[in-house]
Structure 1
Amino acid sequence: MTARLPALTDVDDKPRRRPRRSAEQNRAEILRAATAEFATHGYAGGRITRIVKKANTNPRMIYEQFGSKSELYVATLESALGALRTEELTLDVEHLDPLEGLLKLFDFMNGHFERNLDLVSLLRAENLMKARYMKKSPRIHEMSSPVLSMTKRLLIRGVAEGRLATDIDPLRLYVMIAALSQFHLANVHTLSNEFDFDLKDPAWRAKRSADARRMLKAYLEQKSATA
């Protein structure tokens, strides 16, 4: 009697070992899962068990990499803000006309927040906690300084060239750009309900962005600014 050879399906059905991930890859997967978890449920509602499942890892690996839930949350904030800061600093704007450089910064921030709604949610939740966990990260403060310096240099050059108003504060300007880039995202559900209009509508968002850009341009170009 001829021995039966294993069918292809018999071979294919056998469980296959997943390729082993490096420590860096595992950390990146955990941070991705943690970002989604904390953005959806906040710090208090975030669960390590769900992060473990989404990251396809185990609790031991999370605690080895990050130490605790709170330290993982801080690392998540650092990662999300770090992505924004890294991209900001790669913007090639300082050779441009100062006005166009600052408008390009707005265009970038507006698009970044649109593409990274988890960051909007994380910032909103952290504000409710009065930046309790963000204060534990010196790295976040260090990341912000170069961006503010870049904004200041563009303003100084714009004033020297007679292109921009003379009394614009770099920090106030940056906060204004951030507000114009994310207020409609952070409050999309309440505003949509209040005015019975879906603020997620792409056409509406495109027009809002254009409006915000014109407002910013007019502010930067004003000649009789007040303190």
Structure 2
Amino acid sequence: MGRPPRNGDGGAEPGANRDALLAAARLEFARHGFAGARVGRICEQADTNVRMVYHYFGSKSGLYIAVLEAAMADLRAAELKLDVDVTEPLVGLLQLFDFIHDHFDANPQLISLLSAENLMQARYLKQSGVIPAMSSPVPKLIQTLVKRGVADGTVRKSVDPLRLYVMMVALSYFHLSNAPTLSAIFDEDLARGPWRERQRRDARQMIERFLRVG
């Protein structure tokens, strides 16, 4: 008897192979980076075959770009949960920080993917036409909240939306992406729950004091 047919042999629902490949590839690229990742391992984990990679994504690099796009889409979905029309401006900006911080904290694979892509000077992210488009609403959301906050006297003037967003990401990302080296240098386990919770409170307070009038 031959082996049971894999999903890639036609037994899966339409799109199931693609979703399985993306999930397996996200883990593989996060663990091994682009150069170290192996398409064969991805297909084995996804229970499909190599031709499905080329059918859906065209190449290994196409699959990697799709993984980056999916990971960034998840982050954007978390950020854009905020309803700016019913949220008080300062409260809304702090909630946005909470969304960003909690998303990075819950998604270590995203941190690995972004760290690896930064080492490659965003070589593959630059090839995506999707990521810049999905990112553009975030500074606009911040700008809307800042303008309303300035108008009602709760947010100080001259807050640049993009600079504020970068600050929020830095305070959500750096301590996680650099936890192994910082922990070794200072003999303090930055991955411990209590340390991370204290960092979250301190970072949120920094954002609030930066934004608040007076």
Question: Which TM-score applies when normalising by structure 2?
Answer: 0.93
Residue identity matched to 2:128: S
**CA separation of 1:45 and 1:17: change in aligned 2, threshold 3 A:** closer
Q: Tell me the CA shift for residue 47 of structure 1.
A: 0.6
Residues 1:134 and 2:149 aligned together: no
SS in 2 for 1:197: coil
**8 Å CA contact 2:156, 2:211 repeated in 1:** yes
Q: Tell me the CA shift for residue 23 of structure 1.
A: 2.8
Give the aligned partner of residue 60 of structure 1.
Answer: 51
Length, aligned pairs only: 209
Give the aligned partner of residue 99 of structure 2.
Answer: 108
SS in 2 for 1:73: helix
Q: Tell me the CA shift for residue 97 of structure 1.
A: 1.1
**8 Å CA contact 2:25, 2:64 repeated in 1:** yes
Give the aligned partner of residue 40 of structure 2.
Answer: 49
The within-5 A match list for 1:73-222 is 73-222=64-213
Percent identity (aligned): 51
Q: Tell me the CA shift for residue 92 of structure 1.
A: 2.7
Residue-by-residue CA offset, 1:43-92 (whole Å, 9 max, x unaligned): 11111011011111100111111000011110010000011112222223
Structure 1 segments unaligned to the other structure (5+ residues): 1-14
**CA separation of 1:175 and 1:57: change in aligned 2, threshold 3 A:** same
Q: Tell me the CA shift for residue 147 of structure 1.
A: 1.2
CA distance in 2, matches of 1:141, 1:87: 16
**8 Å CA contact 2:78, 2:100 repeated in 1:** no
**8 Å CA contact 2:26, 2:67 repeated in 1:** yes
**8 Å CA contact 1:188, 1:200 repeated in 2:** yes
**8 Å CA contact 2:34, 2:64 repeated in 1:** yes
Q: Which segment drifts farther, 106-115 or 86-95?
A: 86-95
Give the aligned partner of residue 20 of structure 2.
Answer: 29
Q: Tell me the CA shift for residue 21 of structure 1.
A: 2.0
**8 Å CA contact 2:154, 2:212 repeated in 1:** yes
SS in 2 for 1:198: coil
CA distance in 2, matches of 1:213, 1:162: 20
SS in 2 for 1:192: helix
Residue identity matched to 1:139: V
Q: Which segment drifts farther, 53-62 or 91-100?
A: 91-100
Q: Considering only CA atoms, is the larger Rg found in Structure 1 or Structure 2?
A: 1
CA distance in 1, matches of 2:6, 2:55: 21
CA distance in 2, matches of 1:52, 1:35: 12
CA distance in 2, matches of 1:41, 1:161: 49
State the Cα RMSD in Å.
Answer: 1.5
**8 Å CA contact 1:94, 1:101 repeated in 2:** no
